[in-house]
Amino acid sequence: MRKENIRKLVVSAMFVALIVVLSGFYIPVGASKCFPVQHMVNVLSAVILGPGWGVAIAFCASLIRNLMGTGTLLAFPGSMVGALCCGLMYHYTKKLIPTYISEVVGTGVLGGMLCFPVAKFIMGNAQAAVFTYVVPFLISTVGGTVIAAILVGILARTKALNYMRSQLGDNR
C-alpha cells in the first residue's frame, strides 16, 4: 500500500472517530437540533481526501453510530449523498463555494428526500413524506457547512491545507 493511502486511511479513521465522539453535540435551532459535525467532516474530507474517501467516512460513521444506538438509518442517505456531492464538486471544480453549496443541496435536499423510502419502507414510518426530512437536514447541514468553511479558511490562510494535501498525495 502506498504511503499516501496509509495516511489517507489514518486521517479517515480520525474523521470517523471525530464524528462518532461528537455525535452528541448539537446546536438547538428553534424546534430542530443541528448536528453539524458530520457535515463539517463531509466538506473537510472533500477538500482534503476526495469523494470516495468522504463517502466511506460517512458510511463508517453512520454504521458505527447505528451499532451504538446513537444514530438512525436516516444517517446513511443524508451523510453519504452529501459527502458524494461535495466531494465530486470539489474534485471537478476545485472551488470552495460550489463545494459548500453542494454539501447543503446534497445532504439537505437530495439526502433528505432519499430518507423518505428508508423511513417509510424500512423503518415503518407511515407518516413520512418525500419532503419530511428536508428542512431538518437543511438546518443541520447549513450549520456544519458554515463551521467547515471557517475551518477551511483558517487552514488555507495558515498554509496547513496545502501541507496536508502534499502529505496525502494532493487530491487536486
Give the CATH number of the domain where residue 139 resides: 1.10.1760.20
Q: Is 172 a domain residue?
A: no
State the residue for C-alpha cell 459527502.
83
Q: Is 81 a domain residue?
A: yes
pTM, two decimals, is 0.92
Query: CB under 8 Å to 20, separation ≥6 — which residues?
Result: 61, 64, 65, 68, 70
pLDDT tens per residue across span 32-90: 566 899 999 999 999 999 999 999 999 999 999 989 988 889 889 989 999 999 999 99
pLDDT of 89: 98
Q: Is 89 a domain residue?
A: yes
Question: Which residues span the domain enclosing 161?
Answer: 3-23+32-167
Q: Which three cell numbers stand for residue 133?
A: 426530512
Q: Is 94 a domain residue?
A: yes
Nearest of 54, 47, 17, 22 to residue 35 by alpha carbon: 22
Q: Is 93 a domain residue?
A: yes
Q: Is 69 a domain residue?
A: yes
- Considering its fold, how many domains does the chain have in total? 1
Q: Is 100 a domain residue?
A: yes
Give how far Cα 5 sits from Cα of 54, 60, 80, 86, 96, Å.
14, 17, 21, 21, 24
